[in-house]
Structures are given as C-alpha cells and as structure tokens.
Amino acid sequence: MNNNILNLNSVISRAENVLDCTVDNEMVLMSVTSGDYINLNAQASAIWSEISESQSVSMIVEKLLGQFEVELEACQQQTLDFLNVLQQEKLIEVA
Amino acid sequence: MTYYYRIFELIISVPFACDELIEVLPQQANVIIIYGQVPDNLSVIEKQKLKWQVNKNQVLLKIPDAGKYLIEDGKSIIIEPEDNAFLDVIKLFLLGSALGAIQHQRQRLTLHASALTKGVHTILLCGHSGAGKSTTANILIQQGFKLLSDDLAVIDFIDGDAIVTPAYPQSKLWQDATEKLDIDYQNLNRVRNELNKYRMPIKDNFCKSSKKITYIVNLQSNDIESATTNSLTVFEQLSVLKRHSYRKKYFTLEQAQGNFQACADLVDLVPVMQIIRPPLTNSLKQVAQLINQQLS
C-alpha cells in the first residue's frame, strides 16, 4: 500500500486511457476505463497540463510556484494530495 | 452502375440505388463506396470485438447476414456482401454503422439524435431507444417542424457555431424496425416485411440545408406523473452528449479524445436540457408542448 503513495521525487505522467476537455472554462477528465468524470480547478488543470510528458513532482511544484501565489510547503502538500487522488483513480502512471 | 447522393454534406457514390437518399448529378465523390474483396482481419488492430476491428485509419465490420465492410480514411467503403444477403440489409449497415465510422474518421461529432428545425430554432433530440424520440419528432413535424435527420446528427463547427447537417428524408419508424433487426436478424423475412410496412418517406417536411443548432433535448422515460423539464449542470450536459455519441465502441483513443472535446465545445455553444416523461406514449404530446415552450 505504501508504494502507492507519491513523494516529491516520484516521476509521473498521464495514464493512457484518460480523456480531457475544457468545458465552461474548466478542465474535465474522464477515465475511459471507469467512465468516471473529475472536474479540475485552475491549479489542478495546471498540474494536468504539466504532465502531458513525464515530470517529477518537485518539478511540477516548482512550475506551479511560478504561476500561483502559494507557499512552497502548501503547494507541495496540495500537489501531492491531488496526484494521490489521480493515482487512486488510475488517471496517472508512476515511472 | 454508380449512383450519386448527398448525405451529411458529403457526396457519396454507391454501386446500388438508395431511393431514400437525395440523388445528385454524377460528380467527384467525397466517399466512394464499391463492392470488392475485404480481408478477414486488419493488419494493425487497435481495438476489436467479434464483429469489428479498428485502427487509426480503418474500421472492419463483419456483420452476419450482411457481409464485410472495410471503411478507410473517411473516404472509402468496400463492401463484400455475404452470399444471398438482402440488399436492404446491406444498405442498412452501410447507412448506419459504416457511414457512422466515416464520420469518426473525418473527426466529425456524430450523435445518436433526431434533428428538427422551425424558424430560428434547430433542435437535437437525443435519448435511448424507447425514450420516444421518433414519435416526438413526428409530432413536432405535424406542428410545422422540418426534419434534418431522423437518427444521426452529424455536426460541424463552423465560425463558432455548431451546425447540424441534413441526412435523408425518411422517418424513424424504419429505423425502429432495423433496431429489431439488430437483435433478431435470423428471422429476416418477417423483419423485411416490417421494414416495408414502416418505411415513412417525409419529402415535404425535410430540410435540405445545414442549420445552426440552438437547443438540445435529452428525452428520458421514467415512472413519473407528468412530463417535466430539468436543467442539467455543465457536467451532466457533457455526460449526456458523450453517452449519445454514435458508435462510441469504434473510437480509437485519439477519436475518443476528439469526441470528448467536441462534446465539450457543443455544451459551450448550445444549452442541453432534459425532459422526463411518463411511460405512456400519449405523454409525448406533453413533451412536444414542453419543447415548444422552451423555444418560445
């Protein structure tokens, strides 16, 4: 179970079977496998945009710090929380 | 002999007559349909089930009692009919699944919906089989609407508008019968009789030109007292359009991604709302009334 939890060094990318779209100015993900939808806020959309190619979590955090007014520690925590949700939903892959 | 028709704003050339379609003069066709040999398998397979195989540029259909169809690049369909296959049956799958696959390959959003127009309004009516689309469409036609398509809405995005293209002037009851055919095509003679019986040309009430979509209605039958309209959240609207996308199972991953964004674009341009109606058929008059109220 513990290897499922991501840390700042984890390298992640989008899973293959995920569709995304922008509707009403918000990004929505859909898992082809489960048919479930997730809608993303601005920060989450920025994270999703970052991982069209493999990225380490710390690299993503660094980019977010440039885009949003947020403290490093909070950004790290929120990013990891969100990515852990995506991983549970099998929407990302860990290298 | 080759016949030429216009359907969904495409010129198609067909090796047999399709009386229900809109005939045009011989010209360069966008989609060429011929009889020929079709392999049993595609050389590259991205997705498959018993009756179909798909890759980026090709769809192969293997349909009992009709034959094999190879659909390529959004431009050509090769049909290898089974021995003794009825022309009506061959045509049915050509105008349904095969032409649907052509639209996927051309990356055009295709919904399982009726399209009707009156004045400034053009509506799409989507719903599962048995929801009452066809009957409602026929009631609306009696009230002065013209039909663009009975079953398949092929949509283009042009200059920031969503445009639905005309199919052919024939009404749904034929399609109902064909859906029975899908389930029960061992008993062809009976079904063929039914097809003839229920075929309903609607020449005078057909709209031959593409129209800007102004409204989308998702029709559902449920155990309630009287028909009611529901507003849907953006995500529910998106999910309705996704659900009623035509022949989703043939999508490659790339086409599924394109379809998803196209559904989102349509939600951004056109309101999608839901009408739930009681199971009884006479409730469809209420449905038509609710639609007219929404439009006025």
* Nearest to A61, CA basis, from A85, A42, A80: A80
SS3 B97: helix
Of A17, A23, A32, the CB nearest to B264: A23
Sort B202 into a burial class: Cβ within 10 Å, 0-12 / 13-18 / 19+: middle
Verify whether the Cβ–Cβ distance B235 to A37 is below 8 Å.
Answer: yes
Tell me which architecture the domain covering B110-295 has in CATH: 3-Layer(aba) Sandwich (3.40)
- Each residue of B236-286: pLDDT tens digit? 999 999 999 999 999 999 999 999 999 999 999 999 999 999 988 778 889
Give residue B174's pLDDT: 45
Going by pLDDT thresholds of 50, 70 and 90, the confidence category of residue B196 is very low
Verify whether the Cβ–Cβ distance B260 to A39 is below 8 Å.
Answer: no
Give residue B197's pLDDT: 40
Q: What is the mean pLDDT of residues B6-34?
A: 97
Task: Check the CA dihedral B97-B101-B103-B109 and report its sign.
Answer: positive
Q: How far is A48 from chain B (nearest CA, A)?
A: 15
* Nearest to B158, CA basis, from B12, B9, B28: B9
- Each residue of B100-112: pLDDT tens digit? 999 999 999 999 9
CB-CB neighbors (< 8 A) of A39 in chain B? 235
Torsion of Cα atoms, B104 then B109 then B114 then B116, to 10°: -130
Q: In this complex, how many residue pairs, one in chain A and one in chain B, have their CB atoms less than 8 Å apart?
A: 36
Task: Check the CA dihedral B30-B33-B37-B38 and report its sign.
Answer: positive
- Each residue of B227-238: pLDDT tens digit? 999 999 999 999
- Average pLDDT of chain B, as a whole number: 90
Going by pLDDT thresholds of 50, 70 and 90, the confidence category of residue B172 is low
Verify whether the Cβ–Cβ distance B260 to A30 is below 8 Å.
Answer: yes
Verify whether the Cβ–Cβ distance B268 to A28 is below 8 Å.
Answer: no
Give residue B237's pLDDT: 96
CA distance B154 to B74: 14
Give residue A2's pLDDT: 45
Of A20, A24, A37, the CB nearest to B268: A24
Within 13 A of B172's CA, how many CA atoms are on the CB side?
26
Domain ranges of chain B: 3-106, 110-295
Pick among 1.20.1300, 1.10.3470, 3.40.50, 1.10.10: CATH of A9-90: 1.10.10
For testing contact with chain B, the best of A16, A19, A37 (most B CBs within 10 A): A19
H helix or E strand, kind and range, residue B54: strand B52-54
CB contact A19 to B (< 8 Å): yes
What are the residue ranges in chain A where pLDDT is below 70?
1-4
Q: For residue B68, what are the CA distances in angstroms to B33, B37, B42, B46? A: 13, 9, 12, 18
Going by pLDDT thresholds of 50, 70 and 90, the confidence category of residue B178 is very low
CA distance B218 to B125: 6
Domain ranges of chain A: 9-90
Q: How far is A68 from chain B (nearest CA, A)?
A: 26
Of A19, A28, A32, the CB nearest to B235: A28
H helix or E strand, kind and range, residue B135: helix B133-142
CB-CB neighbors (< 8 A) of B235 in chain A? 23, 28, 37, 39
User: Does position B206 have pLDDT exceeding 70, yes or no?
Assistant: yes
Q: What is the DSSP string of B192-233?
A: HHHHHHH--B-GGGB--S-EE--EEEEEEE-S-SS-EEEE--
Q: How does DSSP classify residue B20?
A: T
CB-CB neighbors (< 8 A) of A19 in chain B? 256-257, 260
Higher pLDDT, B176 or B255: B255
CA distance B293 to B286: 10
CB-CB neighbors (< 8 A) of B239 in chain A? 37
Higher pLDDT, B222 or B196: B222
